[in-house]
Amino acid sequence: MIKIFIPLTLVAVLSATVFSNPAAAISYDEIDEAVKASEALEQARLFPRDIFSDRRTIHAIRLSPNGEKVAFVTTDKKHSKLWLHDIASGENVLLFTSEILNRIFWSTDGDYIIMETDNSIASASVLDASSPAYIAKIKHEDHEIFHGIDERSPHHVFVSLFNKSTDDYTLYRVDMDGNKVPLYTSKDKLYNFIAEKTGPLKFLLRNFGLQQKMFQIEDGKEKQIYECRYDDGCSVASYNDKTNVIYMFGRNGGNLQELLKFDIDTDAVTSVHSEEEGHFDIDDVYFSAETGEPILIEYDTDYRESYGIGPEMSAHVETIKATIKSEIIHIKPMSDKSWLVINSDPKGPGHSYYLYDVKSKTLKQPLADFIIANPAKDRPATVDEIAIRIPFRHKASDGFMLQGYLTLPRGVDISKAPMVVHPHGGPWNRTYGAFSSAAQVLANRGYIVYQPNFRSSTGFGRDYVKGSNRDFGDGRVQDDIIDGTNYLLSRGIGNKDKVAMFGHSFGGFSTMAALAFTPDMFQVGIAGAPPPSLSKTMEYYIKKQDQTRAGILRRDVMADLAVDMNDPRDIERLYSQSPDKHADKITKPMYIIAGEKDRRVNILEVRDYAIRLEENGGIVSMLTDKNEGHNFKKPLAKEAYFYLVETVLAYHLGGRYQPLIDKKLKRYLDKNMVMGKLPTIEE
């Protein structure tokens, strides 16, 4: 069976856009119930700061297409270990250890495991347990890309490589020995296509400014069959050659992205499936490898929802849901024999992995013993220690319905508890319903955590994204965050005198904006990798990466969503309502964390902002790491990041914190606190 990620233009365009920060989903009002339940719980022990930083034993897992083996990856310090689990015998075999392994895939016949490394694609034969061998080199600096497995061929992958001499890109089908067959060459990379089985391309999507055109290729000639705007997110997903029908993603002029069926003979476009509640865009679809027809569809809703297509598939899905009883289940129907099911229940501290036997309709956990024997942490958090987290909806001040998540600390009076507002990055991203490490650790420290999905968040339809009306800074998007915070306070959630904002990337921008435009509401702000001015940051980012992941010029997308970089008046409009312009209005303490190798937010802009803030008499502290980028990656840097967050919050809001005991961490902080200092909390 074939699984298709939405190569969606909009999500691809937006999610990769400027700044990202993950987070997680419904009930229209479970707030009161959740508050009661949470207050009745016992406080959990003080979690170590890093308890959720590497909480999974298994970092990647794939079921072989024949349903006989499971390949999975564990990590040991900086190394990844690739294991093979034989379902019949239950035996786990370590295939190899690697310093550079990133993602794994199966060849469609299950003979090879295909790996994406830092700069290459490699394969390893499962049959003779050979060492992994490179099959293609990917030079990211030349914007070369690995598209994935050729689902219609047993032993092929697709890559796009750059030809320096001709200054163009060629899409290749590459076999397991590294032999390449060119399929398409053009000045722009292809991102979305369907190839005939072991043959040439059949359909492809190309960008023309903000327009996207779908072509059918016959006898080497391209014939346009469909056209959409980039924010429609149309893309080809599957083709049924018997019915001459294409399955594609798109909005077809509507609000939500859904699975569409395009009849090539009649040009008719019809909806195949859309989310039942009418709130969410589609996420994943699995197709039958034999027919090309969809069999399973998944949506990121408030949590996650899966739908089987047709009675048989629906029955399977319902059986799984009824057995596992979890808010988030990932179903991967990779074979006719068995499916991989991953339970990522946000109420639990980790994932659990199941194999669903299609014939007997039963589930078993083949790796349970392995996970118990190889825990990621010495003393992982348990279900009984996790804080309650719920999605909720509220009306913004202009009447627009917004969604967000609320995490409540255990065993405290919620009306008196301090609150941390934690907006996500992006801004074209969203907070998901999945387990949120940041929210859980903050709740463990005694804070209510509000994670808003403000307008411009993705996954809730085009209106939600475009509803921001390019109004960042002192405008609509910030108002959404403030409206949500006020809504919760009005519901008796949190102490209005103990509210802080902490965000990373665009969340950091929102934090700066909060302290600049609503200074009386927040006691302190913590901004990670924050762009003080979106327009300046856009300019910097466009210089570094001029195209989105979907190959559309970022400048064009930004003009549509935020600011027209060719229009000085528009730039001035956005700048005039940015925190950068209003640095003098900040009166509350501001803590900034930034990586000097950030390719999205210019560290010079951040420094300049911090210095101006200080010159204006503001209380500002800054931690910078010369070796880190937009997101801190080294464990020590990540721990320092969270130590700063919890110490600052404890000082200003009075929550719990883990004292500084590690010499290396102290040394790191001494070295990298370049401005101001961390508060000292008297015991």
Partner 1 sequence: MFELFKAEFLRYRKWAIITFIGQLALWGFITKIKPLLEPEAAQNTLITLFCVFGGAAFGVVQMVLNRRKNNWTYLIQRPLPTKDIYCALSAAAIANIMIAVPLSWTVVVFGLDAFTNTVVDTRHYVYGLYLAAMAITSYLIGSLSALSASRGAFTLIFIMIIWLFPKPYSQTMMFSLMAMICAGLWYLNLKAFKPDLNTHVQKPLFTLLMGIPMYGVVSFLLMLASTVYYHIPRFVMGNHPDNNPVVGSMSYLWHVDDKKLVETLLKDQDVKNKDRLSRQAELADADYIDSDFWTYPSQGQMLTKDRGYGLFDGATRTRWIFSNDKMLMQGNDSISGEIKGWIGKNGFIEADKATDDDRFDSVPFMLEDMFLATPERLYQVDYEEKELIVKFEAPEGTNLVSPPQVRDNFVAIVTNENLYMFDKEDFMTEMEPAEASYIVPHPLELEKIRNMETRRMVDGYLVIYFSRHYNGYQKEAVSMYYARLGKDVERISKTDYHISRHPAIIENLNYALSPASYMLFSQIFHTLEPSEKDNPAISEVLTREYQPSVKWTALILQILSAIGTFLMSRRIKLNSTMTGLWTVMGAVFSLPALVSFFLMNKVRGV
101 binds partner 1, rule: CB under 8 A: yes
Q: At closest approach, how far in Å is the CB of 381 from partner 1?
A: 28
Cβ neighbours of residue 149 closer than 8 Å, sequence gap 6 or more: 105, 106, 107, 108, 114, 156, 157, 158
**At its nearest, how many Å lie between partner 1 and the CB of residue 79?**
6
Cβ 62 to partner 1, closest distance in Å?
16
- Would you count residue 96 as binding partner 1 (CB under 8 A)? yes
Q: Name which of 416 and 671 has its Cβ closer to partner 1.
A: 671
597 binds partner 1 (CB under 8 A): no
For the record, the structure tokens of 552 come out as 């559309």
Q: Which of 8, 18, 87, 136 binds partner 1 (CB under 8 A)?
A: 136
State which of residues 132, 346, 467, 528 lies at the interface with partner 1 (CB under 8 A).
132
219 binds partner 1 (CB under 8 A): no
Q: Which of 29, 90, 100, 616 binds partner 1 (CB under 8 A)?
A: 100
**Interaction between residue 79 and partner 1 (CB under 8 A):** yes
Nearer to partner 1, 79 or 416 (CB): 79
- Work out whether 163 is an interface residue with partner 1 (CB under 8 A): no
543: number of Cβ within 10 Å: 10
DSSP SS3 for 538: helix
Residue placing its CB nearer to partner 1 in the complex, 381 or 637: 637
The 10 Å Cβ neighbour count of residue 626 is 11
Of 23, 40, 19, 49, nearest to 407 by C-alpha is: 23
Return d(Cα 43, Cα 409) in angstroms, integer. Answer: 8
What are the E-state strand segments in 478-629? 499-504, 524-528, 590-595, 620-625
Which residue lies nearer to partner 1 by CB, 122 or 527? 122
Query: Distance between CA atoms of 390 and 386, rounded to whole angstroms?
Result: 12
Residues touching partner 1, count (CB under 8 A): 31
H runs (alpha helix) in 562-617: 568-576, 603-615
8 A C-beta contact, residue 278 and residue 256: yes
Give me the least distance between CB of 371 and partner 1, in Å please: 20
Does 130 engage in binding with partner 1 (CB under 8 A)?
A: yes
Q: How far is the CB of 2 from partner 1 (least distance, A)?
A: 26
What is the C-alpha to C-alpha distance for residues 452 and 397, in angstroms, rounded to an integer?
14
Cβ neighbours for 578, distance < 8 A, ≥ 6 positions apart: 472, 473, 474, 513, 532, 533, 534, 535
Calpha distance 36→393 (Å, rounded): 19
Task: For residue 141, state whether it binds partner 1 (rule: CB under 8 A).
Answer: no
CA distance 677 to 644: 10
Would you call 677 exposed, middle or buried from its count of C-beta atoms within 10 A (0-12, 13-18, 19+)? exposed
Q: Does residue 133 interact with partner 1 by CB under 8 A? A: yes
Using the rule CB under 8 A, is 139 a contact of partner 1? no
Strands (E), 409-486: 419-421, 448-453
Lookup: tokens for 198: 């072991």
The Cα 621–Cα 644 span in angstroms is 10
Q: How far is the CB of 290 from partner 1 (least distance, A)?
A: 31
Quick one: 122 or 493, whose CB is closer to partner 1? 122
Is 162 near partner 1 (CB under 8 A)?
no
42-46-51-53 Cα dihedral, nearest 10 degrees? 100
Choose, by CB under 8 A, the member of 359, 663, 680, 682 that binds partner 1. 663
CB nearer partner 1, residue 158 or residue 191: 158
Binding status of residue 84 toward partner 1 by CB under 8 A: no
Instruction: Tell me how far, at minimum, the Cβ of 137 lies from partner 1, in Å.
Output: 5
CA 391/CA 419 separation, integer angstroms: 16
Residue pair 420/649 in contact (Cβ under 8 Å)? The answer is yes
Residue 161 CB, nearest approach to partner 1 (Å): 12
**Any contact of residue 627 with partner 1 (CB under 8 A)?**
yes
Residues in region 386-405 near partner 1 by CB under 8 A:
none
Q: Report the candidate in 105, 205, 196, 217 with the shortest Cα–Cα distance to residue 153.
A: 196
Residue 669 engages partner 1 in binding (rule: CB under 8 A): no
CA–CA dist 406, 421 (Å, integer): 10
- Is residue 126 at the binding interface for partner 1, with CB under 8 A as the rule? no
User: Which residues from 175-194 bind partner 1, rule CB under 8 A?
Assistant: 177-178
Measured from the CB atom, is 101 or 237 closer to partner 1? Answer: 101
Is there binding between residue 670 and partner 1 (CB under 8 A)?
yes
Q: Where are the beta strands (DSSP E) in 251-358?
A: 258-263, 268-273, 282-287, 294-299, 305-308, 329-332, 338-343, 352-357
Exactly one of 6, 8, 126, 135 binds partner 1 (CB under 8 A); which one? 135
Select from 36-44, 94-102, 292-300, 349-357 the region that touches partner 1 (CB under 8 A).
Answer: 94-102
User: x-or-dash pattern for partner 1, window 315-334, by CB under 8 A?
Assistant: --------------------
78: contact with partner 1 by CB under 8 A: yes
Q: State the nearest-atom distance from the C-beta of 667 to partner 1, in Å.
A: 6
Select from 208-216, 242-250, 612-620, 665-673 the region that touches partner 1 (CB under 8 A).
Answer: 665-673
Kindly indicate which of the ranges 256-264, 279-287, 505-513, 659-667 contains the residues binding partner 1, using the contact rule CB under 8 A: 659-667
Task: Determine the Cα–Cα distance for residues 35 and 27; give it in Å rounded to an integer.
Answer: 14
CB 105 within 8 A of CB 148: yes
- The yes or no reply on residue 671 touching partner 1 (CB under 8 A) is yes
Binding site for partner 1 (CB under 8 A): 78-79, 81, 96-101, 115, 117, 119-120, 122, 124, 130-137, 177-178, 627, 663-664, 667, 670-671
